[in-house]
Amino acid sequence: MMKSRLYDQRVIALQRQGEFGVYSPGTGQEASIMGSAMAVDPARDWMVPQYRELMATVHHGLPLEVITAQYLGKIGPARIPDGVNVLPTQVSIAAQLPHATGLAWGLRLRGQDSVVIAYIGDGGSSEGDFHEALNLAGVVKAPIVFFLQNNQWAISTSRRVQSATRSFALRAAGYGLEGAEVDGNDVMAVYDVTSEAVARARGGGGPSLIEAVTYRMGFHNTTDNPSRYQDPKEYDEARSRDPIERVQKYLAALGLWDANREAALTDELREENDRALQLARSAAAPRPEDVFANVYQDPPPRLVRQRAELLDGHDA
């Protein structure tokens, strides 16, 4: 959780300096992100992210330098390594979910005991893809856990006007899924509820929808300015429920945490994050002609011509 928070702080500064791409921090949602990631097994389960779960994908085996390369625009080094059971981040809202259901169903048809965890936001739950994916998952009993992070915002659209439902978890019933609402700022509760849903899916008991109720303690992404639409009182109130401070207080009460340990871990994690950043920085930059690569096995003649013109130095 601390590694996620520290990475957010580091790369937001780099984005402001022009080095990093548009970035959506997980700040405030670390219990939700890490509690859910810890409940799946990187060796056999698959993770299907939206875009705000970066450290969950790292926990699931995606090297931090690989995902960092993506934000530096290095498309080759950003390729997900073979053997890492993580799908690429998805910015087209909810478009990851039909794929996630298909992936889970396919794993089951192959006789594997793997489970898929797929992330979605409160805003994403209003998309058609969300409903289609949940419906099919229920019908075929796909081994999948839909993990909905309700961070109260979809950019500037408040949860209050996102849906008339009083709980997103209730939507599970309409598709024959198990539904659960959990305090998304309580890492242990998130871990427990997600573990239960994963065990049920693995045992053939079918899919679940978990709503983790949390709060986006920052901007939507680095292009956003929430002071234009967010009540500062609501933000302050959310800060008083910081999920990292909460677990630190709990550990301190058990005698397992203090200021020295925090300082030592902070240094260690900053170094880990910096190492990943250095590796991503030293990775090969894309060449202009790479824009034509990795889409078609046999590119259409128009693209072949444009690529040749580019290499010739002509304007396409």
Ligand X SMILES: Cc1ncc(C[n+]2csc(CCOP(=O)(O)OP(=O)(O)O)c2C)c(N)n1
Active site residue 216: yes
Write down the catalytic residue from 5, 52, 108, 220: 220
Q: In the annotation, is 99 catalytic?
A: no
Asked whether the beta carbons of 78 and 67 are under 8 A apart, the reply is yes
Q: Which of ligand X, Mg ion, none has residue 285 at its interface (CB below 5 to 8 Å by kind)?
A: none
- Cα separation, 233 vs 252, in Å, equals 28
Residue 194 interacts with ligand X (CB under 6 A): yes or no: no
Residue 214 interacting with ligand X (CB under 6 A): no
Rg of the chain taking only CA atoms, in angstroms? 21
Helical ranges in 110-224 per DSSP H: 128-140, 159-162, 187-202
Question: Which residues, 6+ apart, have CB-to-CB distance to 19 below 8 Å?
Answer: 72
- The residue within the footprint of ligand X, chosen from 8, 30, 65, 122 (CB under 6 A), is 122
Taking residues 133 to 162 in sequence order and writing x for each that binds Mg ion by CB under 5 A, - otherwise, the string is ------------------x--x--------
* Nearest CB to Mg ion, comparing residues 56 and 72: 56
Q: Smallest Cα–Cα separation from 195: which of 1, 85, 84, 45?
A: 45
User: Which one is catalytic: 229, 239, 261, 275?
Assistant: 229
Closer to Mg ion by CB, 52 or 74: give it: 52
Confirm if 132 and 163 have CB atoms less than 8 A apart.
no
119 classed as catalytic: no
Q: Write 196-199 long-range contacts (CB < 8 A, 24+).
A: 197/39, 197/145, 198/39, 198/40, 198/45, 198/115, 198/117, 198/145
Contacts of residue 196, defined as CB under 8 A and 6 or more positions apart, other chains included, come to 180
Question: Taking the complex as a whole, how short is the minimal distance between the CB of residue 117 and ligand X, in angstroms?
Answer: 16
Question: Is residue 242 within the footprint of ligand X (CB under 6 A)?
Answer: no
Q: Give 69: exposed, middle or buried? Use CB within 10 Å, 0-12, 13-18, 19+.
A: buried
Among 48, 104, 154, 187, binds ligand X (CB under 6 A): 154
Q: Specify the residue, 46 or 219, whose C-beta has the smaller distance to ligand X.
A: 219
CB closer to ligand X out of 37 and 93: 93
Q: Report the residue from 3, 5, 52, 74 that binds ligand X according to the rule CB under 6 A.
A: 52
> Quick check: helix, strand or coil at residue 209?
strand
Kindly tell me which of 5 and 220 has the beta carbon lying closer to ligand X: 220
Q: Which of 25, 77, 121, 138 binds ligand X (CB under 6 A)?
A: 121
Binding site for Mg ion (CB under 5 A): 121-123, 151, 154
* Residues with catalytic function: 216, 220, 229
